[in-house]
Structure 1
Amino acid sequence: MTDMETYMAAVNRSYRSERGRKDIGDDFQRKRQMQQPVRGQYSQQPAKRLFQGPSKGPYPQGQ
């Protein structure tokens, strides 16, 4: 094998490796987007607490 053939083989291996990593990343993003709920699908807000008046705290009122 000549130096040029060795170089080209290394470049091709590197390209295939990077392309494979990109494909894996793209698949991950697609799966992640499919798992996220669609906006508005889960629009139910958490239950609100009723107002119970001022906090009593550790001190009696008037001090």
Structure 2
Amino acid sequence: MAAVNRTYRSERDRKDMRYDFQRKRQMEQPVKGQSSQPPAKRPFQGPLKDPTPQGQQQQTP
């Protein structure tokens, strides 16, 4: 009887592992319209600057 229980648990564990693997694969698949490649890194632009160009001042109404 112990051998039967071990076999049953082994089969159940194998099914659980297969289910987990399939679920992870589905989560990793890219969403429609997205590429499967990771996004490209942008070059470092330096510290953020004032959004208004130099020499121009914002007009106040």
Aligned-residue offset at 1:18: 1.1
Matched, 1:13 2:15: no
Q: Tell me, which stretches of 5 or more residues in structure 1 are unaligned?
A: 40-48, 54-63
1:34 is displaced (CA, Å) by 3.1
Structure 1 runs (4+) deviating above 3 angstroms are none
Which residue identity does 1:16 align to in structure 2?
Answer: K
RMSD over aligned Cα, in angstroms?
2.9
> Identity percentage over the alignment?
12
Question: Which structure's relative contact order is higher, taking Cα pairs within 8 Å and 6+ residues apart?
Answer: 2
The structure that has the greater radius of gyration is: 1
**What is the total number of aligned residue pairs between the two structures?**
43
**Alignment correspondent of 1:45:** none
